[in-house]
Structure 1
Amino acid sequence: MRTFPRRWSRLLGTAAAAMLLLTVPQPAAQAQESAPSPPPTVPALADWTPAHGSYAFGHATRIVARDRAALDAARTLAGDLRAAGHGTVPVVRAGARTGDIEIGVDPAAEATLGAEGYELRAGQRLSVTGATGTGAFYGTRTVLQFLAQGDRVPAGHTVDVPRYRERGVGVCACYVHISTRWLENLVRDMAYHKLNQLLLELKVKSDAHPEANTWGYYTKDEIRNLVALGEKYHVDIIPEINSPGHMDPWIADRPDLQLTDSDGNRQPARLDITKPEAFAYYRSLIDEYAQVFTSDSWHMGADEYMLGSDFAKYPQILAYARARYGADATPQDAFIDFVNRVHAYAAAKGKKLRIWNDGLTGANTVPVAAGTTVEHWLDVATKPSRLIAEGHPLMNAAYSLYLVRGGFHTNTKALYEQSWDPRSFEGEKLTSAAGVTGAKISLWPDNGRGETENEVAGAMVPALRHIAQATWGAAHPDPTYAEFTARGTAVGHAPGWRDPTRVPVADGTYTFRAGATVVDLEIGRTADGYVTLKSASDGTCLEVTGGKLTLNVPLEPGTPVTGSACDPRSTLQRWELDPAPGGYRLLNAITRMTVHVTGEGRLLQYPPDQQQPTTWTLTAS
């Protein structure tokens, strides 16, 4: 073989390289052109920079916590990978190697990443860095979404930072109980999509006020468990007791606290804001909720106080306002006074106050206390821009984002196609996001029997993904809504999410036995994942009937469970077969109460903490 002096070899190599540069792309440019895009995520990554190669997750993968501050995110990721079917991935503090997932917290990056952003690099290793543990956690949510679509991730880099600090879901379980399993699923899915705020209007079973414990409540242990899950997944769970209106879940049996009109009629939904004992009662509820909720926010509602009436029917309110604020005071000033007293009490407890906007009609001379966050849902005289100018943090809770149980459902497709974002309030579109904290979807129970919670969960999925996208990133990341929904299909649900539509027993006729009570029932699965229970003897279907109705739902404990003409539209004829030691409990899909069999063989519904739920053994006929 002919050889060349080293000097000529270098010259020939340089010349050849120069000729190649004229005919083919440089390797770096070639990598940029050919590197694939990352797997889709919700929210979408805004600035992915591709690189050559890919990351491969495998049996030898470890999670490396670079520092102590990253340990919580690392351990949570390990648990979620296991729940998602990726096996047991060890968490270590040793140096990272090929195939590992590396998680770190670098406070010096806060100027770039803020409190919730993260940087992710995919190559021989998958590396996540946040300026805080929260930021690192959100990076792991992207890792989970990547791996939900395969064990290989194209090489690349992103810096992913939210646009809004409040990204939420509001749920009113204020009358009709929603299962804790449903709420746990929601917390997991929220975190998976980088939502960080769950606002819950609900009733906690009270030790201080047992007279208020009408059904719909949650036990304190149930709330403690839910709050612990929220803390693990960086979802702030903010409690709400709506006041001074909509107080009937709390004061229906306290006529001494009810507002009385000029005709002498008591209003069980309205707290009498002129009475010191009424304010003391509300303070005691705040104190009791503080035993189980750890959020530094308190939501007092403050909406629809005069819904269906007006202040003129209650002259004592005007008299109260003038006594406190002078002859020019208005009845609205008494209302604002109540709000401000709650604000001061919450602040003394280290909590920031939140209210709805519709009570801020502009008819007041007393201003709302500075720092009160206003959730804007209804177009009234006081516009969003004015609330921001007055210094109130403003959250977009627009009615167009509502899912009303058995009623209005948000049109997510239309909102996406309009490039809706949190600046688009009811009645006003802002040109700047300054002062806007974020946005939330709201799930409301107006017709409690209109839909089951499984149906609500299904309808909520596209709305949840849309609000996650609109509050974290760009409002319109894909050209079409179909392409955006395909993102959601690709990432699926969060690890640990439990399918609420799974029925543990096959359709067919079974003999149900509970002590001396024996009945043959035909089980039929419903489209929303419950069952109907049809009597083999007379063809009727088991249903909760009678009792006192609340939001069209028989929520009175002790209401009979009897046979009624079968109606596939009746949600009250839908049941869960809840596995229990030795058999199954019957749980109504709407009332969320279990069936209790009396000594005489009567079937009655009760909250499970009031009467022992009956366990049924099933034998196929």
Structure 2
Amino acid sequence: MRKRLGFAAVMALLVLLLAPVPAVARPDQGAPVTVPALTRWTPESGAYAFRPGARLVADGPAERRVADTLAGDLRAAGHGTVPVVRGGARTGDIVVDIRSSRTSLGAEGYELHAGSRLSITGATETGAFHGTRTLLQLLAQDDRIPAGRTVDVPRYKERGVGVCACYVHISLPWLENLVREMAYNKLNQLLVELKVKSDAHPEANSWGYYTKDEIRQLVALGDKYHVEIIPEINSPGHIDPWIENRPDLQLTDSDGAKQPSRLDITQQAAFDYYTGLMDEYAQVFTAKSWHMGADEYMLGSDFAKYPQILKYAQQKYGPDATPQDAFVDFVNRVHDHAASKGIGLRIWNDGLTGANTVPVDTDTTVEHWLNVAVKPSGLIAQGYSVMNSAYSLYLIRGGFHSDTESLYDQKWDPRSFEGERLASSRGVTGAKISLWPDNGRGETENEVAVRLWPALRHVAQATWGDPHPDASYAEFVARGTAVGHAPGWRDLTRVPVADGTYTFGRSFTASVQRTADGYVTLRSAAGCLAISGGKLTLNVPLQPGVEATWDACDPTNTLQRWELEPAPGGHRLVNAITRMALTVTDDGRIVQYPADQRTPAVWHLS
């Protein structure tokens, strides 16, 4: 005999039946939201619930490394402390597993299965790590993850970002944010053209450098997050940051004029200088690639101004040799030096115009950015691996910005080069976006970041899976909004003091006002504090010792913007563009210097 339900019980049941259903996967639902979008998703009934008491189960040393990183990121994301344990997985646990037999997952793919517990399996440590990034993105949206399974494998081997911190300095916290964001979106390669402070060549240590300890810190973060950080010293062109004080190594034209941005490739001393710098970089970088640039050494008929280059080529390769053979000779010698250290060489494509009789070594990776006579298909046919570094993917500080929405709507993918679209991805290693400081004062770091994140997520999507997972760009942007920023990402736009008038120790009194991009301006009766003197490089006064002045206030002048950096006893003042801190000289002048050259002043604000 059935028991009848009373009125109250019936109403309670109706409330339960009519209540909103949690976002748990059903067989007809699509994949959970991630960036890049999951390539395959098989839904199941139910959900994985992340709750207090969850553990990370990891047995081997590689699994424990992945789990330890995940535990730190869960804590940084506000999910509490999750212990890492061995064996005996139970309901609610997260299992990290590496099985080399799962060869179909490749070097970076993974399988994620969500049920009563959640498991992440990779054939390699890197693959398992990528699976944890998907987990973090899902938990950023909900502690309940729809039950189901994905096998997620990237389409391209190289998925990256290039940054020129080569003239205008970029702060270490900004670069660390970039590494975290890259890993969160499964990008795996960061090219950094920068200067490391040299012990062997102190004459090269004009401003724009990083200390070796700073680079070690950045590289360690990249290693932890499976982002290979590849260094570049551009040569034999664009090398003026290194040889501006070495006229003996500068190329001399037929009129006797020195060219401070061009290395004299006919000199053994120039080659020794360059490879010596490579060896010094090897003390702090762990990457298995070296980028030598090799772009824009000569433009048009410029070789004719340097007859010694043709003479060098003919002496080495015979009477039919061309001036470009001397250039290729330099590239190949650098290649051989790198190869002797177990390092692969990378170059830009524009120097390969077809005017040479000597070929570049075919195991050199060519990064194609400019449409020249030799097309990507031709390079691939000759046996080169080619990376797509198209100009359409550039973000130039104060200049051209990649039109991410247009590229998305065009369903852009890494086969679309400047001047040619390939029918096949064979020979294409992947793609990257590039940040260049051509007008260094045109935008602050924080302004660049606003433009960067959509472009970063787009190239992550286009290199990992389907370049057009959503019907509209607005829906794709919503993906990025849903997953948010990486755990540990720092908001660099926060200002540590409220707007108001402050006395900076005994130096000056000024009105402090926050700018829209997260810096401050300092306004007094004399004007706004700025760095405006000295020699300009890319429109920025980069010389140490330049004095801070009170100029006419201009809200568009980025050199009048300052970071208030908290320090014991007060705050330091760091210029938003030059990234040098202010210090006070014995005679009371306020000047900019790198922090490792002069101790920054610390002002007590009252």
TM-score, normalization: structure 1?
A: 0.93
Write out per-residue CA displacement over residues 259-278 of structure 1, whole angstroms, 9 at most, x where no aligned residue.
Answer: 00001100000000001100
Is contact 1:38–1:153 with CA below 8 Å preserved after alignment?
no
1:481-496 equivalent positions in 2, closer than 5 A = 481-496=473-488
Aligned to 1:615: 602
Is contact 1:245–1:269 with CA below 8 Å preserved after alignment?
yes
Counterpart CA distance in 2 for 1:68 and 1:182 is 31
Q: CA deviation at 1:34?
A: 5.4
Aligned to 1:14: none
Counterpart CA distance in 2 for 1:316 and 1:539 is 55
1:178-197 equivalent positions in 2, closer than 5 A = 178-197=170-189
Name structure 1 gaps, 5 residues minimum.
Answer: 3-30
Q: 1:519 to 1:135 in 2, by over 3 A?
A: same
SS in 2 for 1:605: strand
Is contact 1:35–1:51 with CA below 8 Å preserved after alignment?
no
Give the letter aligned to residue 109 of structure 2: G
Q: Equivalent of 1:160, from 142, 152, 164?
A: 152
1:446-595 equivalent positions in 2, closer than 5 A = 446-513=438-505, 517-535=506-524, 538-595=525-582
Write out per-residue CA displacement over residues 299-327 of structure 1, whole angstroms, 9 at most, x where no aligned residue.
Answer: 00000001476100000000000000000
Is contact 1:61–1:99 with CA below 8 Å preserved after alignment?
yes
Write out per-residue CA displacement over residues 188-215 of structure 1, whole angstroms, 9 at most, x where no aligned residue.
Answer: 0000000000000000000000001010
Counterpart CA distance in 1 for 2:589 and 2:301 is 43
Aligned to 2:310: 318
SS in 2 for 1:240: strand
Greater shift, 87-96 or 188-197, is seen at: 87-96
Counterpart CA distance in 2 for 1:34 and 1:349 is 53
Aligned to 2:101: 108
Is contact 2:25–2:148 with CA below 8 Å preserved after alignment?
no
Q: Equivalent of 1:396, from 382, 388, 397?
A: 388
- Aligned pair count? 585
Write out per-residue CA displacement over residues 86-108 of structure 1, whole angstroms, 9 at most, x where no aligned residue.
Answer: 01000001311111111100110
SS in 1 for 2:67: helix
Counterpart CA distance in 2 for 1:104 and 1:586 is 48
Counterpart CA distance in 2 for 1:32 and 1:81 is 23
Q: 1:308 to 1:564 in 2, by over 3 A?
A: farther
Q: 1:339 to 1:581 in 2, by over 3 A?
A: same
Aligned to 2:233: 241
Q: Equivalent of 1:219, from 179, 190, 211?
A: 211
Instruction: Give the alignment's Cα RMSD to 1 decimal.
Output: 1.2
Alignment of 1:288 with 2:277, yes or no, is no
Aligned to 1:81: 74
Is contact 1:340–1:369 with CA below 8 Å preserved after alignment?
yes
Write out per-residue CA displacement over residues 409-458 of structure 1, whole angstroms, 9 at most, x where no aligned residue.
Answer: 00000000000000000000000000000000000000000000111111
Q: 1:265 to 1:100 in 2, by over 3 A?
A: same
Is contact 1:251–1:258 with CA below 8 Å preserved after alignment?
yes
1:293-308 equivalent positions in 2, closer than 5 A = 293-307=285-299
Aligned to 2:267: 275
Write out per-residue CA displacement over residues 545-593 of structure 1, whole angstroms, 9 at most, x where no aligned residue.
Answer: 2111110100010001010000000000000000101000000000000
Q: Equivalent of 2:58, from 57, 61, 65?
A: 65
Counterpart CA distance in 2 for 1:66 and 1:424 is 43
SS in 2 for 1:447: coil
Give the letter aligned to residue 74 of structure 1: A
Q: CA deviation at 1:177?
A: 0.6
Alignment of 1:330 with 2:322, yes or no, is yes
Q: Equivalent of 1:442, from 434, 438, 441?
A: 434
Write out per-residue CA displacement over residues 382-419 of structure 1, whole angstroms, 9 at most, x where no aligned residue.
Answer: 00001001111100000000000000000000000000
Is contact 2:35–2:457 with CA below 8 Å preserved after alignment?
yes
Counterpart CA distance in 1 for 2:600 and 2:400 is 35
Counterpart CA distance in 1 for 2:271 and 2:120 is 49
Q: Equivalent of 1:50, from 34, 43, 47?
A: 43
Name structure 2 gaps, 5 residues minimum.
Answer: 3-23
Q: How many percent identity over aligned positions?
A: 73
Is contact 1:35–1:154 with CA below 8 Å preserved after alignment?
no
Write out per-residue CA displacement over residues 274-301 of structure 1, whole angstroms, 9 at most, x where no aligned residue.
Answer: 0110001001000100000011100000
SS in 1 for 2:331: helix
Alignment of 1:346 with 2:338, yes or no, is yes
Counterpart CA distance in 2 for 1:167 and 1:277 is 36
SS in 2 for 1:270: strand
Q: CA deviation at 1:68?
A: 3.1
1:350-361 equivalent positions in 2, closer than 5 A = 350-361=342-353
Counterpart CA distance in 2 for 1:611 and 1:113 is 51
Give the letter aligned to residue 354 of structure 2: G
SS in 1 for 2:566: strand
Give the letter aligned to residue 89 of structure 2: A
Is contact 1:454–1:500 with CA below 8 Å preserved after alignment?
yes
SS in 1 for 2:507: strand
SS in 2 for 1:42: coil
Aligned to 1:209: 201
Counterpart CA distance in 1 for 2:78 and 2:269 is 55
Q: CA deviation at 1:67?
A: 3.2
Alignment of 1:124 with 2:124, yes or no, is no
Q: CA deviation at 1:69?
A: 2.5
Greater shift, 594-603 or 564-573, is seen at: 594-603
Counterpart CA distance in 2 for 1:202 and 1:69 is 32
Q: CA deviation at 1:372?
A: 0.2
Q: CA deviation at 1:35?
A: 5.7
- Which protein shows a greater Rg? 1
